């Protein structure tokens, strides 16, 4: 059986129907898999910090893209609860990655399996539920 920390693979069931979001999700999956690979191969602390920083930077960039789309389409006015829940999930995720970065900086070892089971699981669940919900809203005429 596939373990939660194994590399992710894009498939069409993850599509939100919004081209730019899907394109960014594919890239995010690649960056996450690169980070996963580095930890699995016991990359140096510096390298681990770097891949986590890359992941954090791209995640923030990607969430900004989604949140700009929400703003431009009045998601917060039309679906305030959905918008709030969505952005809260984003904040929680970046907070978690930030925490990993701090731990690496303090020289604490991270539990590779636990970290990537969480990150991978979070991403898939968020895309499948929350981003697809947003995609349906953005696809409305
Ligand atoms: Fe999202």
Percent of the chain beyond pLDDT 90? 88
Write the CATH number for 53: 1.20.120.50
Determine the distance separating the centroid of ligand 1 and the alpha carbon of 72, expressed in angstroms.
15
Specify if 5 maps to a domain: no
Determine the distance separating the centroid of ligand 1 and the alpha carbon of 110, expressed in angstroms.
25
Specify if 6 maps to a domain: no
Determine the distance separating the centroid of ligand 1 and the alpha carbon of 41, expressed in angstroms.
29
Residue 35 Cα distances to 26, 69, 89, 132, 136, angstroms: 14, 28, 21, 25, 30
Specify if 9 maps to a domain: no
Specify if 4 maps to a domain: no
Rounded mean pLDDT, 55-75: 98
Specify if 110 maps to a domain: yes
Instruction: Write out the two tokens for 38.
Output: 């580095």
Q: Write the pLDDT tens digit of every residue in 76-121.
A: 999 999 999 999 999 999 999 999 999 999 999 889 999 999 999 9
Determine the distance separating the centroid of ligand 1 and the alpha carbon of 123, expressed in angstroms.
9
**Quick check: 90 and 69 in contact, CB under 8 A?**
no
- Domain with 72, as residue range(s), is 23-138
Determine the distance separating the centroid of ligand 1 and the alpha carbon of 63, expressed in angstroms.
6
The C-alpha atoms of residue 85 and residue 131 are separated, in whole angstroms, by 11
Specify if 18 maps to a domain: no
Specify if 99 maps to a domain: yes
Instruction: Write out the two tokens for 29.
Output: 């999956």
Determine the distance separating the centroid of ligand 1 and the alpha carbon of 44, expressed in angstroms.
31
Specify if 7 maps to a domain: no
Report CA Rg, the chain.
16
Q: Write the pLDDT tens digit of every residue in 2-48.
A: 788 899 999 999 999 999 999 999 999 999 999 999 999 987 878 89
Determine the distance separating the centroid of ligand 1 and the alpha carbon of 89, expressed in angstroms.
8
Residue 21 Cα distances to 14, 25, 28, 42, angstroms: 11, 6, 10, 31
Long-range contacts of 70-78 (CB under 8 A, 24+ apart): 70/134, 73/137, 73/138, 75/134, 75/137, 78/137
Per-residue pLDDT, 4: 82
Measured at the alpha carbon of residue 134, what is the angle toward residues 21 and 114, in degrees to the nearest 5? 70
pLDDT of 1 over the 80 cut:
no
Q: What is the pTM of this model?
A: 0.94
Determine the distance separating the centroid of ligand 1 and the alpha carbon of 107, expressed in angstroms.
31
pLDDT of 58 over the 90 cut:
yes
Count of structural domains, the chain: 1
């Amino acid at each position: 059986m596939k373990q939660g920390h194994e590399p992710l693979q894009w498939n069409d069931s993850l599509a939100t129907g919004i081209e730019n979001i899907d394109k960014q999700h594919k890239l995010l999956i690649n960056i996450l898999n690169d980070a996963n690979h580095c930890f699995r191969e016991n990359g140096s602390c510096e390298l681990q910090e770097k891949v986590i920083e890359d992941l954090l930077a791209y995640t923030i960039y990607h969430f900004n893209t989604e949140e700009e789309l929400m703003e431009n389409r009045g998601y917060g006015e039309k679906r305030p609860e959905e918008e709030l829940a969505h952005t809260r999930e984003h904040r929680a995720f970046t907070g978690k990655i930030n925490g990993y970065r701090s731990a690496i900086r303090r020289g604490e070892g991270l539990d590779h399996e636990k970290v990537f089971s969480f990150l991978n699981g979070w991403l898939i669940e968020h895309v499948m539920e929350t981003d697809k919900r947003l995609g349906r809203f953005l696809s409305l005429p």
